[in-house]
Every structure is written in structure tokens, then in C-alpha cells.
Structure 1
Amino acid sequence: MLTIGDTFPEFDLTACVSLKSGEEFSRITHKSYAADWKVYFAWPMDFTFVCPTEITAFGRLNEEFGDRDAQILGFSLDSEYVHHAWRRAHEDLRDLPFPMLADTRRELCTALGILGSDGLPMRATFLVDPTDVIRFAMVTAGSVGRNPKEVLRVLDALQTDELCPCNWSRGEDTLDPVALLAGA
């Protein structure tokens, strides 16, 4: 699996971006949000149980990620049409504010190294800076949902470009190594 310091792979995928007639689908590439941080997260498959809880939790934080110049991009192996059908069928997904990418050829999941032994994407999350360098990578067991608030907290910490202690939150003091060494 790709990890911190690796370059996020190039991709060109179709995404479900809306339920509005004529605006349902869009092409998204690795260059689509070039100036932004990207929050990529994969889920095993549509029409499952844990996945919509995570997807909607990311959706509820979309504005906060946007305030930090970060674009959320979710993906699975399902087609854009399956994503669309799931959004129509699942009340909590109908107004989803970010693209659901369709990695139907498994190219992105393969390049990331996140396909599990069952052939499905692992529950992986990547924070990628505007230069396409992975700055955070996390995978949880398929039965365990992610915490999007923790992903947001890590993004905040990364964007300080400073040392952040355990459980640090936005607005709190960061660590000053010079002061720490002087006090030692």
C-alpha cells in the first residue's frame, strides 16, 4: 500500500456528482483539484451497512474540509450508475456534497495497493497535499468505520507545518522544540 511520502497515483474516472437530471456524472482526474488538499477514501462496496455511515459523516464535514481548501473524494469499484442508484435509494446519501468516483477497472485501487484478499478495496483513507504527496494514510478493518473528525483533525495538524502533540486540536498550541530543549 502507498503511504506517507509517496505520490498519489494519476487517475481519470467517472463520478456520480448529483441526482439532478443531466448533471449526474462528471469526469474527475488527479488534476481536477490540483490546488487543493485532497481527502481520498475508499469503501468496499455500495449497498452495504458500515459504508453509508462513513460517507454521510464525511458529507456532514464537507464544509469544514472546504474551509481548509480540502476536497473530499470517495471511491469504490462500483460504477457511477450503481453510485447513482445507491444515492437515490439511501436517504442519507441523496444530498452528498462530494463526488463518488467509480474505479470500475480497479486501476486506482491497484495503484494504491488497497485491494484486499477478497478483491475489494480496503477501508483506506489518504490525505494528499496540493503537490500530490500522501501526508496521511490509514486503513481500518472492513467491520470498523472511520472517524472523519479525526481525519479533519489530522488535516488541521498537517496544515500547521509544526509539531503537534497527541490529541492536538485546531487552535491549540503546537510544540516548540527549541523551548522544549531549553527546558530539558
Structure 2
Amino acid sequence: MLTVGDKLPEFNVPVQQGTDALPNDERLTDKDFDGKWKILFWWPKDFTFVCPTEIVGYGDLKDDFEDRDAVLIGGSMDTDFVHFAWRKSDERLAKADFPWIADNKGELAHALGIVDKNAGVALRATFIVDPDNVIQHITINGLNVGRNPKETLRILDALQTDELCPCNWEEGQDVLKPAA
């Protein structure tokens, strides 16, 4: 598995966004958001139970991520047509207006090292990637436990201070200043 300090691998994967039109071979690459922070989060499968709660949770914070010059990118190993159908079937997911990677060949998920050995699907992985495409934070949950998108936002805030941030630090609080 890739870790903090590793470069996000080069990729060129199918992507699906919105519900206005059927997927049309849209692609997303590692270069599409150069110079921006990236929140890349994966879920195991579409049409499941825990995954939509996470997608909606991240979608609800999309503007907050954008305020921090970060783009939100979701993904699973489903196809762009499955993503489209799932979004069309659930108005909450339709409102989650950010790109969904359709890594049905699993190339990016395998390159990241986040495929569950037994289930053959992506784990609940979250990557915070800096503007230079260097991974700055990773969390991985098992298949049955959802994440806390607000915690991802808190960690992004801390990373963007470029300071020492204590446990449970939140934006607006003092950072640590070691004695000189």
C-alpha cells in the first residue's frame, strides 16, 4: 500500500459525474487537478448500505473542501454506468456533485494498494493529497465501518497550517510552538 510521502500514481480512469446524461467515455487523470489539494475517497461497491452514507456525508462538505482549495473525488471499482444508475436511483446521491472514479479494472485501486484480498473490492480508503500530488494522509477502514468526513476536513485544515497541531486540534485553535 502507498503511504504518506509517496506520490499519487499516474492514472487515466473512467469517471462519472452528474445525472443529466449517460456516461460518455469521460476520463480523469492525475494531472486534472494539479496545484490543488485532493480528497480521494474509495468505497467498496455501489448499491450497498454504508457507502451512500459516506458519499452523502462527503457531498455535504463539498463546499467546505472547495473553500480550502481542495477537490473531492470519490471512487469504487464499479463502472461508470453503475455509478450513473445508482445516482439516478437515489436523490441524495444525485446531489453528491463531484467526480466518481469508475475503476472497474481495478488498476488505480491496485496501484494504491487498497483492494481487499478476500472480497476483491476497494477498502474504505481516504487519501489527502497535496498540490504536488504527494500523499499527506491516509485512513483505511474495513468494509463494514463508515468514515467521518468531518474528520477528513479537520485533518486537511491541520495539514494546511504547515505547523505542529496537537491531538484534536481544530481550525482557529493555537498550534504548538516549541521553545527555541
Is the TM value for this pair above 0.5?
yes
Question: Residue 146 of structure 2 aligns with which residue?
Answer: 145
Residues 109-124 of structure 1: matches in 2 within 5 Å? 109-117=109-117, 118-124=119-125
Kindly indicate whether the alpha-carbon contact (under 8 Å) linking 2:23 and 2:84 is maintained by their aligned counterparts in 1.
no
Counterpart amino acid of residue 177 in structure 2: D
What SS class does the counterpart of residue 26 from structure 2 fall into?
Answer: strand
Question: Residue 85 of structure 2 aligns with which residue?
Answer: 85
What SS class does the counterpart of residue 38 from structure 2 fall into?
Answer: strand
Kindly indicate whether the alpha-carbon contact (under 8 Å) linking 1:18 and 1:24 is maintained by their aligned counterparts in 2.
no
Question: Residue 35 of structure 1 aligns with which residue?
Answer: 35
Question: Residue 182 of structure 1 aligns with which residue?
Answer: none
Shift of 1:21: 2.8
Kindly indicate whether the alpha-carbon contact (under 8 Å) linking 2:125 and 2:139 is maintained by their aligned counterparts in 1.
yes
Deviating above 4 A after TM superposition, structure 1's stretches of 4 or more consecutive aligned residues are 22-25
* Distance in 2, Cα, partners of 1:163 & 1:25: 43
* Distance in 1, Cα, partners of 2:19 & 2:44: 22
Q: TM-score, normalised by structure 1?
A: 0.94
Question: Residue 55 of structure 1 aligns with which residue?
Answer: 55
Shift of 1:23: 7.5
Shift of 1:178: 2.1
* Distance in 1, Cα, partners of 2:50 & 2:13: 24
Counterpart amino acid of residue 43 in structure 1: W
Asked if 1:156 corresponds to 2:133, the answer is: no
Counterpart amino acid of residue 67 in structure 2: D
Question: Residue 175 of structure 2 aligns with which residue?
Answer: 174
Counterpart amino acid of residue 106 in structure 1: G
Kindly indicate whether the alpha-carbon contact (under 8 Å) linking 1:17 and 1:24 is maintained by their aligned counterparts in 2.
no
Q: Which runs of 5+ in 1 are unaligned?
A: 180-184
The structure that has the greater radius of gyration is: 1
Q: What percentage of aligned pairs have identical amino acids?
A: 51
Q: TM-score, normalised by structure 2?
A: 0.96
* Distance in 1, Cα, partners of 2:24 & 2:100: 11
**RMSD between aligned alpha carbons?**
1.3
Residues 1-80 of structure 1: matches in 2 within 5 Å? 1-21=1-21, 26-80=26-80
CA offsets per residue over residues 11-46 of structure 1, 9 Å max, x none?
111211111136876321101111100000111000
* Distance in 1, Cα, partners of 2:83 & 2:23: 14
Q: Which runs of 5+ in 2 are unaligned?
A: none
Kindly indicate whether the alpha-carbon contact (under 8 Å) linking 1:17 and 1:99 is maintained by their aligned counterparts in 2.
yes
Counterpart amino acid of residue 77 in structure 1: M
Aligned length: 179
